[in-house]
Amino acid sequence: MKRTLLTSLLAASALCMLNSCSMNGLVYPGHDMEMPDAACGYPANMIEILAEDGTPLRGWFFNRGANTPLVVIYGGNAMNVGTLLNLAAADPARSYLLMNYRGYGGSAGEPTQAALVNDARYCIRHARTAMGNPSAQLYLAGFSLGSAVATHVAATEQPAGIVLVCPFDNIKTVACNIIPLLPRIMPLDPWDSVRIAPRVSCPVTIIQANYDKSVPASSTEKLIKAFRTAPTVHRFEADHNNIFSAAGFNQVFYQSLPVTEQCQFDF
Protein backbone atom coordinates (compact mmCIF):
# COMPACT_ATOMS: atom_id res chain seq x y z
CA MET A 1 0.00 0.00 0.00
CA LYS A 2 2.80 2.41 0.95
CA ARG A 3 4.63 1.64 -2.28
CA THR A 4 1.46 2.23 -4.31
CA LEU A 5 0.87 5.54 -2.52
CA LEU A 6 4.46 6.62 -3.08
CA THR A 7 4.20 5.74 -6.75
CA SER A 8 0.99 7.72 -7.05
CA LEU A 9 2.53 10.73 -5.36
CA LEU A 10 5.58 10.62 -7.60
CA ALA A 11 3.38 10.32 -10.66
CA ALA A 12 1.27 13.26 -9.52
CA SER A 13 4.40 15.31 -8.90
CA ALA A 14 5.73 14.50 -12.34
CA LEU A 15 2.44 15.46 -13.94
CA CYS A 16 2.34 18.73 -12.02
CA MET A 17 5.85 19.49 -13.19
CA LEU A 18 4.90 18.71 -16.78
CA ASN A 19 1.71 20.73 -16.59
CA SER A 20 3.70 23.72 -15.34
CA CYS A 21 5.87 23.76 -18.42
CA SER A 22 5.29 23.46 -22.12
CA MET A 23 5.30 20.02 -23.70
CA ASN A 24 7.12 21.72 -26.56
CA GLY A 25 9.82 22.72 -24.09
CA LEU A 26 10.33 19.09 -23.05
CA VAL A 27 11.18 18.06 -26.62
CA TYR A 28 13.01 21.28 -27.52
CA PRO A 29 14.79 22.50 -24.35
CA GLY A 30 17.28 24.46 -26.47
CA HIS A 31 14.54 26.77 -27.69
CA ASP A 32 15.56 30.42 -27.16
CA MET A 33 19.19 29.49 -26.43
CA GLU A 34 21.72 32.16 -27.31
CA MET A 35 24.52 31.86 -29.82
CA PRO A 36 27.70 30.53 -28.17
CA ASP A 37 30.78 32.69 -28.72
CA ALA A 38 32.68 29.81 -30.30
CA ALA A 39 30.03 29.47 -33.00
CA CYS A 40 30.66 33.03 -34.18
CA GLY A 41 34.20 32.24 -35.28
CA TYR A 42 33.14 31.75 -38.90
CA PRO A 43 31.45 35.06 -39.83
CA ALA A 44 32.14 34.60 -43.54
CA ASN A 45 30.08 31.42 -43.50
CA MET A 46 27.10 32.73 -41.52
CA ILE A 47 23.89 32.89 -43.53
CA GLU A 48 20.20 33.59 -43.14
CA ILE A 49 17.60 31.66 -45.11
CA LEU A 50 13.96 32.68 -45.19
CA ALA A 51 11.86 29.52 -44.79
CA GLU A 52 8.87 28.94 -47.04
CA ASP A 53 6.65 30.80 -44.58
CA GLY A 54 9.12 33.68 -44.32
CA THR A 55 10.63 32.68 -40.96
CA PRO A 56 14.32 33.70 -40.76
CA LEU A 57 16.61 30.74 -40.11
CA ARG A 58 20.26 31.32 -39.28
CA GLY A 59 23.27 29.08 -39.58
CA TRP A 60 26.46 28.44 -41.54
CA PHE A 61 27.16 27.40 -45.13
CA PHE A 62 30.56 26.21 -46.33
CA ASN A 63 30.16 26.33 -50.12
CA ARG A 64 33.13 24.56 -51.69
CA GLY A 65 31.81 24.49 -55.24
CA ALA A 66 29.21 22.97 -57.54
CA ASN A 67 31.03 19.66 -57.90
CA THR A 68 31.45 18.89 -54.21
CA PRO A 69 29.04 16.82 -52.12
CA LEU A 70 26.71 18.66 -49.75
CA VAL A 71 26.69 17.48 -46.12
CA VAL A 72 23.85 18.78 -43.94
CA ILE A 73 24.28 18.42 -40.17
CA TYR A 74 21.37 18.57 -37.68
CA GLY A 75 22.00 19.24 -33.99
CA GLY A 76 20.50 17.88 -30.78
CA ASN A 77 17.48 19.19 -28.92
CA ALA A 78 19.54 21.28 -26.48
CA MET A 79 22.30 22.24 -28.90
CA ASN A 80 23.28 25.17 -31.03
CA VAL A 81 24.41 23.41 -34.18
CA GLY A 82 27.30 25.89 -34.38
CA THR A 83 29.11 23.76 -31.82
CA LEU A 84 29.74 21.25 -34.64
CA LEU A 85 31.36 23.76 -37.01
CA ASN A 86 34.77 22.13 -36.52
CA LEU A 87 33.57 19.15 -38.58
CA ALA A 88 32.84 21.44 -41.54
CA ALA A 89 35.85 23.70 -41.17
CA ALA A 90 38.31 20.78 -41.07
CA ASP A 91 36.99 19.17 -44.26
CA PRO A 92 37.62 21.18 -47.47
CA ALA A 93 36.54 18.28 -49.67
CA ARG A 94 32.82 18.78 -49.07
CA SER A 95 30.29 21.59 -48.77
CA TYR A 96 28.49 21.82 -45.43
CA LEU A 97 25.21 23.33 -44.27
CA LEU A 98 24.43 23.72 -40.55
CA MET A 99 21.19 25.58 -39.80
CA ASN A 100 19.76 26.21 -36.35
CA TYR A 101 16.22 24.99 -35.80
CA ARG A 102 13.40 27.47 -35.34
CA GLY A 103 13.89 29.25 -32.04
CA TYR A 104 17.51 28.09 -31.77
CA GLY A 105 20.67 30.20 -32.05
CA GLY A 106 19.22 33.24 -33.76
CA SER A 107 16.58 31.47 -35.86
CA ALA A 108 13.06 32.83 -35.36
CA GLY A 109 9.85 30.89 -34.86
CA GLU A 110 8.69 27.97 -32.73
CA PRO A 111 10.09 24.45 -33.23
CA THR A 112 7.70 21.66 -34.19
CA GLN A 113 8.35 18.38 -35.96
CA ALA A 114 6.47 19.41 -39.10
CA ALA A 115 8.22 22.77 -39.28
CA LEU A 116 11.71 21.36 -38.71
CA VAL A 117 11.34 18.69 -41.39
CA ASN A 118 9.88 21.15 -43.88
CA ASP A 119 12.64 23.68 -43.13
CA ALA A 120 15.30 21.01 -43.56
CA ARG A 121 14.04 20.06 -47.02
CA TYR A 122 13.73 23.69 -48.06
CA CYS A 123 17.24 24.56 -46.88
CA ILE A 124 18.70 21.65 -48.86
CA ARG A 125 17.14 23.06 -52.03
CA HIS A 126 18.46 26.52 -51.15
CA ALA A 127 22.01 25.25 -50.59
CA ARG A 128 22.08 23.19 -53.78
CA THR A 129 20.90 26.19 -55.76
CA ALA A 130 23.56 28.37 -54.16
CA MET A 131 26.17 25.75 -55.09
CA GLY A 132 25.01 25.94 -58.69
CA ASN A 133 24.09 22.25 -58.72
CA PRO A 134 20.45 21.35 -57.89
CA SER A 135 21.36 17.65 -57.88
CA ALA A 136 24.57 17.86 -55.84
CA GLN A 137 25.40 14.63 -54.05
CA LEU A 138 23.75 14.81 -50.62
CA TYR A 139 24.64 13.42 -47.21
CA LEU A 140 22.66 13.94 -44.03
CA ALA A 141 24.06 13.71 -40.50
CA GLY A 142 22.28 14.21 -37.21
CA PHE A 143 22.97 13.98 -33.50
CA SER A 144 20.27 12.82 -31.04
CA LEU A 145 17.14 14.79 -32.09
CA GLY A 146 19.03 15.61 -35.28
CA SER A 147 19.22 11.89 -36.08
CA ALA A 148 15.42 11.86 -36.25
CA VAL A 149 15.42 14.94 -38.49
CA ALA A 150 17.97 13.29 -40.79
CA THR A 151 15.97 10.05 -40.94
CA HIS A 152 12.70 11.81 -41.76
CA VAL A 153 14.34 13.95 -44.44
CA ALA A 154 16.17 10.95 -45.93
CA ALA A 155 12.84 9.23 -46.57
CA THR A 156 12.05 11.77 -49.30
CA GLU A 157 15.30 13.47 -50.37
CA GLN A 158 17.20 10.33 -51.47
CA PRO A 159 20.64 11.18 -50.05
CA ALA A 160 23.76 9.18 -50.86
CA GLY A 161 24.00 8.26 -47.19
CA ILE A 162 23.10 9.28 -43.65
CA VAL A 163 25.13 9.32 -40.43
CA LEU A 164 23.14 9.04 -37.21
CA VAL A 165 24.92 9.85 -33.94
CA CYS A 166 23.23 8.63 -30.73
CA PRO A 167 19.93 7.93 -32.52
CA PHE A 168 16.69 6.66 -30.98
CA ASP A 169 13.55 4.85 -32.11
CA ASN A 170 11.04 7.53 -31.02
CA ILE A 171 11.03 10.56 -28.75
CA LYS A 172 8.80 9.07 -26.05
CA THR A 173 11.30 6.29 -25.41
CA VAL A 174 13.92 8.92 -24.66
CA ALA A 175 11.54 11.14 -22.67
CA CYS A 176 10.41 8.22 -20.49
CA ASN A 177 14.03 7.24 -19.93
CA ILE A 178 14.78 10.72 -18.58
CA ILE A 179 11.48 11.08 -16.69
CA PRO A 180 10.49 7.47 -15.84
CA LEU A 181 6.95 8.33 -14.75
CA LEU A 182 6.17 10.30 -17.89
CA PRO A 183 2.92 8.89 -19.37
CA ARG A 184 3.29 7.76 -22.95
CA ILE A 185 0.01 9.48 -23.77
CA MET A 186 1.52 12.94 -23.25
CA PRO A 187 1.19 15.06 -26.42
CA LEU A 188 4.82 15.17 -27.60
CA ASP A 189 6.04 15.50 -31.18
CA PRO A 190 6.55 11.78 -31.91
CA TRP A 191 9.76 11.81 -33.97
CA ASP A 192 9.01 8.18 -34.72
CA SER A 193 12.17 7.23 -36.62
CA VAL A 194 11.52 3.51 -36.31
CA ARG A 195 8.38 3.98 -38.44
CA ILE A 196 10.22 6.06 -41.06
CA ALA A 197 13.38 3.94 -41.25
CA PRO A 198 11.98 1.31 -43.69
CA ARG A 199 11.51 4.11 -46.24
CA VAL A 200 15.21 5.00 -46.21
CA SER A 201 17.01 3.38 -49.14
CA CYS A 202 20.54 4.78 -48.79
CA PRO A 203 23.45 3.41 -46.72
CA VAL A 204 23.13 4.21 -43.02
CA THR A 205 25.93 4.68 -40.50
CA ILE A 206 25.09 4.52 -36.79
CA ILE A 207 27.49 5.96 -34.21
CA GLN A 208 26.70 4.96 -30.61
CA ALA A 209 28.09 6.01 -27.22
CA ASN A 210 28.61 2.99 -24.99
CA TYR A 211 27.78 4.99 -21.87
CA ASP A 212 24.83 6.95 -23.23
CA LYS A 213 22.50 7.83 -20.33
CA SER A 214 20.07 9.80 -22.49
CA VAL A 215 19.31 7.30 -25.26
CA PRO A 216 18.91 3.68 -24.07
CA ALA A 217 20.88 1.13 -26.09
CA SER A 218 17.63 -0.79 -26.63
CA SER A 219 16.12 2.27 -28.32
CA THR A 220 19.01 2.48 -30.79
CA GLU A 221 18.84 -1.27 -31.42
CA LYS A 222 15.16 -1.03 -32.35
CA LEU A 223 16.02 1.66 -34.89
CA ILE A 224 18.93 -0.35 -36.32
CA LYS A 225 16.62 -3.31 -36.94
CA ALA A 226 14.02 -1.11 -38.65
CA PHE A 227 16.18 -0.10 -41.62
CA ARG A 228 15.77 -2.05 -44.85
CA THR A 229 19.52 -2.62 -45.12
CA ALA A 230 21.59 -3.29 -42.03
CA PRO A 231 23.43 -0.10 -41.01
CA THR A 232 27.15 0.07 -40.38
CA VAL A 233 27.50 0.50 -36.61
CA HIS A 234 30.40 2.09 -34.74
CA ARG A 235 30.56 2.25 -30.95
CA PHE A 236 32.76 4.57 -28.92
CA GLU A 237 33.80 4.61 -25.28
CA ALA A 238 31.92 7.85 -24.63
CA ASP A 239 28.68 9.21 -23.24
CA HIS A 240 25.91 11.16 -24.95
CA ASN A 241 27.50 14.54 -24.36
CA ASN A 242 31.12 13.88 -25.31
CA ILE A 243 30.73 11.52 -28.26
CA PHE A 244 32.19 14.09 -30.70
CA SER A 245 35.43 14.29 -28.74
CA ALA A 246 35.92 10.52 -28.65
CA ALA A 247 39.19 9.31 -30.16
CA GLY A 248 38.64 8.35 -33.79
CA PHE A 249 35.21 9.97 -34.13
CA ASN A 250 36.17 12.38 -36.92
CA GLN A 251 37.82 9.64 -38.95
CA VAL A 252 34.70 7.46 -38.78
CA PHE A 253 32.48 10.44 -39.57
CA TYR A 254 34.36 11.45 -42.74
CA GLN A 255 34.75 7.85 -43.91
CA SER A 256 30.96 7.56 -43.76
CA LEU A 257 30.67 10.29 -46.42
CA PRO A 258 32.31 8.70 -49.49
CA VAL A 259 32.70 10.89 -52.55
CA THR A 260 31.58 9.56 -55.93
CA GLU A 261 33.74 9.80 -59.04
CA GLN A 262 31.42 12.51 -60.38
CA CYS A 263 32.61 14.93 -57.69
CA GLN A 264 35.62 16.96 -58.75
CA PHE A 265 36.80 19.32 -56.05
CA ASP A 266 37.19 23.03 -56.77
CA PHE A 267 40.30 23.82 -54.74
Do 201 and 256 form a contact (C-beta atoms < 8 A)?
Answer: no
pLDDT tens profile 23-35 = 567 788 877 666 6
| The predicted structure's pLDDT at residue 24 | 65
| The predicted structure's pLDDT at residue 128 | 98
| Cα–Cα distance for residue pair 123/127, rounded to 1 Å | 6
Q: Specify the 3-state DSSP secondary structure of 102.
A: coil
Do 64 and 76 form a contact (C-beta atoms < 8 A)?
Answer: no
Higher pLDDT, 1 or 129: 129
pLDDT band at 201 (very low <50, low <70, confident <90, very high): very high
Residue spans of alpha helices (H) in the chain: 2-19, 23-27, 85-89, 113-131, 145-157, 171-178, 193-196, 217-226, 249-255
Cα-to-chain-centroid distance, residue 260: 24
Q: What is the pTM of this model?
A: 0.87
Closest by CA to 180, choosing from 21, 1, 13, 4, is 13
Q: Give me the mean pLDDT over the 189-214 stretch.
A: 96
Do 104 and 29 form a contact (C-beta atoms < 8 A)?
Answer: no
Packing angle, helices 113-131 and 145-157, rounded to 10: 60
* 183: Cβ contacts below 8 Å, ≥ 6 apart: 15
pLDDT tens profile 64-105 = 999 999 999 999 999 999 999 999 999 999 999 999 999 999
pLDDT tens profile 231-251 = 999 999 999 999 999 999 999
For residue 56, list its beta bridge partners: 50
| The predicted structure's pLDDT at residue 267 | 31
Buried/exposed 204-235: b ≥16 CB within 10 Å, e otherwise: bbbbbbeebebbbeebbebbbebbeeebeebe
Closest by CA to 176, choosing from 219, 112, 226, 238, is 219
| Cα–Cα distance for residue pair 208/239, rounded to 1 Å | 9
Residue spans of alpha helices (H) in 78-206: 85-89, 113-131, 145-157, 171-178, 193-196
Amino acid letter for position 254: Y
Query: Above 80 in pLDDT, residue 213?
Result: yes
Closest by CA to 125, choosing from 113, 116, 115, 134, is 134
Do 204 and 231 form a contact (C-beta atoms < 8 A)?
Answer: yes
Amino acid letter for position 216: P
H/E segment holding residue 60: strand 56-62
